[in-house]
Amino acid sequence: METNQLRTAMLSLIYPAVYGAGLVWLVSGLLQFDSPWSIAAWMKALIALWILIFFAVSYIITSVTPTERYGISPFLLDLAEIVCVFLCFVFLGYVTPGRENLSSVFAVLAAVPLLQSLWNVAVRRQAIWGVSLALSVICISAAYVVHEFAWFIFVAVAGIYGLLIYYVQLKRHKTGW
């Protein structure tokens, strides 16, 4: 029986609630596409999907972390990541339709991989700082240039997906899931 109440709350209640809300927002957003050819809508959806995949990987990593390593610091870092996920969905316009701000999405998203690396340090796992920093640099760059160079959104989305695939492969190798 799980004796770590913080870990139990995170894995059994908080993660599923946030993930479920994200899925509902994404699906309802997809159902409201004005046109299947709307590139802006697809970019929003791809960013939201990336967030959900990263969040799922975070959940899996938390679930395979030894119970005794999950204390207040990892819990608070998970909460900070959850706030970032929620803010990203707000800035993508899924929570309040019509309120998209991709610059803010990328600015908030830049913090997520860094929080994940800090989380890894807090649970005494090897942090993958190179991947975290690369993801953050891409997101910060996108946050600053998205209004002047709309094409950079494609570059940023391709870059974050590529790094996510690499990150998942590294984590699977290091954690054995």
95-137 pLDDT, tens digit per residue, is 987 778 999 999 999 999 999 999 999 999 888 899 999 999 9
Rg (CA), the chain: 16
What is the total count of domains within the chain? 1
Q: Name the maximum alpha-carbon separation found in the chain.
A: 54
Q: How many CB atoms lie within 10 A of CB 14?
A: 16
Please state the φ and ψ torsions of residue 4, each to the nearest 5 degrees: -90, 105
Buried-state track 38-77, b at ≥16 Cβ within 10 A, e below 16: eeebebbbbbbbbbbebbebbbebbeebeeeebeeebbeb
What pTM, to 2 d.p., does this model score? 0.89
- The boundaries of the domain holding residue 156 are 5-175
The predicted-structure confidence for 61-79, as pLDDT tens digits, reads as follows 999 999 999 999 999 999 9
User: Which residue bears the tokens 């954690």?
Assistant: 175
Return the higher-pLDDT residue of 49 and 33.
Answer: 49
